[in-house]
Structure 1
Amino acid sequence: MNQQELTKELNSYIANIGVGYIKLHNLHWNVVGSQFKAVHEYLESLYDAFADVLDETAELLKINGEQPVASLKGYLAIATIKELDDAAVDQKKALEITLADLELLRDQALKIRKAANEHDCFSAANLMEDHIENYAKQIWFLRSMLA
């Protein structure tokens, strides 16, 4: 993976975070079930964290003279995380959707970290390390809640 491909992959990651951010709001607002409050608050903590991930990754591109994707139109054109319809979502389904998206993001961050290491782009590799660590923790939380 060359520098141009790494930039493309980082923009795809940004797009997935951007779509995921909106999707988490959708789930947060529309979750239903006996554990509504706990799931509602957990989803809010995730989208708050996504805002930081989005900003850090976009700034990494800017620092390296690259242009981050920054519009909803741009996100939707390249994201692999899909939007949800506006509808009530059972708490278990909301957690399953969130788990699947976080696993996708973890895998994407692992791919970026590997490519960044190969090109001695240590700032990108280090950032992805931090993100991977956080995804591992959140995936563990979600699997525990779904057990």
Structure 2
Amino acid sequence: MSNENTQEVLNQTVADLFKASVLVHQVHWYMRGAGFLTLHPKMDELKDQLDEALDEFAERLITIGGSPLSTLAEYEATSKIKMTTAKWGKSNAERLQEILTAYKYLAEVFKKGIKVADEDGDDVTVDLFTTALGDIEKTIWMLDAELA
């Protein structure tokens, strides 16, 4: 059975996780105001989680015979996570909303990954996407709670 579709969704995931990590790093650097002492280290935690997931998905892609995207140009061309040049003056809530939007998008990518990998008969990749989806949904819940 061909796994080209699984490889494609894994590469989409690699690009999107990279961009999400950069977005969280941007928020980390530009964060100011109430909640800083709690939110600033939380951004480090979120970035570490994204980077760990990125490595797991890229290594899974290699394991099944694929070649992960690995350049900034490839990430920019492939990822659907939107970023703008950082500016001072945004509230922490506005910055967290940007992360929340990216995480909700990642949840949809992971759901697609589960479906595609299942269709390709790749139970290990299904499990990887399922675990990642559970983690991202928990973070979405926490971000929603913070913004409520």
TM-score range, shorter chain: over 0.9
Tell me, in whole angstroms, the C-alpha distance in 1 between the residues paired with 2:3 and 2:93.
40
* Residue 72 (structure 1) shift: 1.0
Aligned-residue Cα RMSD (Å) equals 1.1
Tell me, in whole angstroms, the C-alpha distance in 2 between the residues paired with 1:39 and 1:78.
29
Residue aligning to 2:31: 31
Tell me, in whole angstroms, the C-alpha distance in 1 between the residues paired with 2:71 and 2:83.
15
Q: Percent identity?
A: 26
Q: Which runs of 4+ in 1 moved over 4 A?
A: none
Q: Which secondary structure state, in structure 1, belongs to the residue aligned with residue 127 of structure 2?
A: helix
TM-score under structure 2 normalisation?
A: 0.94
Gaps of 5+ in 1: none
* Residue 86 (structure 1) shift: 2.4
Gaps of 5+ in 2: none
Q: Which moved more, 1:80-89 or 1:119-128?
A: 80-89
Tell me, in whole angstroms, the C-alpha distance in 2 between the residues paired with 1:12 and 1:74.
10
Aligned length, in residue pairs: 146
Tell me, in whole angstroms, the C-alpha distance in 1 between the residues paired with 2:51 and 2:92.
23
Aligned positions of 1:1-147 closer than 5 A: 3-88=3-88, 89-147=90-148
TM-score under structure 1 normalisation?
A: 0.95
